[in-house]
Amino acid sequence: MAGEPQSDCLFCKIVAGEVPATIVRETETTVAFRDINPQAPTHVLVIPRVHYPDAASLAVGAPTVAADLLREAGEVAAQEKTDAGGYRIVLNTGAGAGQTVFHVHAHVLGGRGLNWPPG
Ligand code: AMP
Ligand code: ZN
């Protein structure tokens, strides 16, 4: 059920401490950790502790946590000092858009020039 931990979900396991991660920030509702395959000098993933597959379902099921996720993305950018130079928050949704882990996660990318439109 949405919101409940999923036994086969990698990011639920990171939330539970069952899979190690380099955590950079934590709140009551979110965890932020470094991406294992960084695409920029700063590449941090911000996830809700609750399991929802994507951003839209999180916003429907737990709107305050969706707001927490975006606020924390900004806090990560500030902590990483990428906020002045500009940063990007990416929420890949669906396999066709490159989503590989179906526990919603905001990529926070910064520390280099970021082209637009993205690939
Ligand atoms: P997406 O392709 O948008 O679903 O993003 C999934 C991201 O999770 C990718 O950027 C992966 O590099 C990252 N990732 C996968 N496994 C781990 C892990 N164990 N720790 C940190 N990041 C991971
Ligand atoms: Zn999960």
pLDDT given for residue 100 in this prediction: 98
CATH of the domain spanning 10-110, picked from 3.30.2310.20, 3.30.428.10, 3.20.130.10, 1.10.3720.10: 3.30.428.10
pTM of the model: 0.97
CA of 47 to the centre of ligand 2 (A): 9
The tokens describing 76, both together, are 């990560």
**Which pLDDT belongs to residue 1?**
63
- Ligand 1 mean position to 10 CA, how many Å? 9
Distance from C-alpha of 17 to C-alpha of 85, rounded to nearest angstrom: 33
- Structure confidence by residue, pLDDT tens digits, 32-88: 999 999 999 999 999 999 999 999 999 999 999 999 999 999 999 999 999 889 999
Ordered by start, the domain boundaries in the chain are 10-110
State yes or no: pLDDT of 2 exceeds 80.
no
Q: Determine whether the shortest distance from the Cβ of 44 to ligand 1 is under 6 A.
A: no
CA distance 113 to 8: 36
* pLDDT tens digits along 3-42: 888 999 999 999 999 999 999 999 999 999 999 999 999 9
Task: Give the pLDDT of residue 83.
Answer: 82
Ligand 1 neighbourhood includes 100 CB (under 6 angstroms):
yes
Which ligand has its closest atom nearest to the C-alpha of 89? 1
Ligand 1 mutation target, pool 24, 34, 37, most atoms within 8 A of CB? 37
Query: Is residue 54 classed exposed, middle or buried when 0-12, 13-18 and 19+ CB atoms within 10 A define those classes?
Result: middle
Backbone angles phi, psi at 63, to 5 degrees: -60, -35
pLDDT of residue 84: 85
